Amino acid sequence: MGEATDIVRTGRKFAQVLAGARAVFMADGFEGASVDDIAKSAGVSKATLYSYFPDKRLLFMEVANAECNLMAARAMERIDDSYPVREVLTVTGRHLVDFLLSDFAQQIFRICVAERERFPELGRAFYASGPEMGRDRLADYLTCAVARGELAIDDIPMAAEQFSELCKVKLWTRAVFGIQTEFSEEEKNDLVRNAVDMFLARYGT
C-alpha cells in the first residue's frame, strides 16, 4: 500500500475520512493539519484513518481529486451539446469561475504553492484532477463543435487553455492576492460574458 491506486474507496467511514480531512485542510492547511485532528473531525480512529491513507499526502490528493470530480460532474449535468455554442460556453465559464473563486480552490492553490518544493506531487495531483481534466473535457466539446462547423479551431488544446485563462481575468488574481474576497453575481457574469465574446471573436464561424 502507499499508492493512490491502492486506496479502497468504499464504505461509510471512507466518506467520513474525506469529509473530515477536507474540513481540517481547509482550516489549517497541509502542514498544520494533524492526523489526530483529521481523525477527530472524521469521527474515526487513527487506526481506521491509516487503514485508508498511510500517508497524509495521499489523503490530501484524494480530497482534491474527489472535490474536482464532484465539481466537474455538476458542470456536465447542466451542459447540453445541442445548445448553441455561446450558451454552452457561458454555462461552462460560469462553473469554472465559481470553482476558481471558491474557498476550496483558493486554499488548495495556496497549499500547492506553499508545498511545491517539499511535495511537488501535491501540485501535480491537483493540476491533473482540476485544470488538466477541465481542459480535456472542454477540448472534447470543442472538437465536436468544430466537427459541426460551429467553431473554427486549428489547435483545440490551446483553445481550451485560452478559454480557461480568459475566465481567470481580474477576479481570480484579486482573490489569490487577497485584494477581494467577495464577488457579486454581476461581476462573475460580466467576466464570463467577456470571456465568451473574446473566444467567439477568435474562433466563431
- Give per-residue pLDDT as tens, 181-197: 999 999 999 999 999 99
User: pLDDT for 17-75, tens place per residue?
Assistant: 989 998 999 888 888 888 999 999 999 998 889 888 888 888 888 888 888 777 777 76
**Alpha carbon of 100 to those of 130, 164, 174, 202: distances in Å?**
10, 10, 11, 24
**CA dist list (Å): 49 to 18, 44, 56, 58:** 10, 7, 10, 12
pTM above 0.85, yes or no: no
Q: SS3 letters for 174-202? A: HHHCCCCCCCCHHHHHHHHHHHHHHHHHH
- Under the banding of pLDDT at 50, 70 and 90, the label for residue 153 is very high
- pLDDT score of 128 more than 50: yes
Predicted confidence at residue 66, as pLDDT, reads 83
181 CB burial (10 A radius; 0-12, 13-18, 19+): exposed
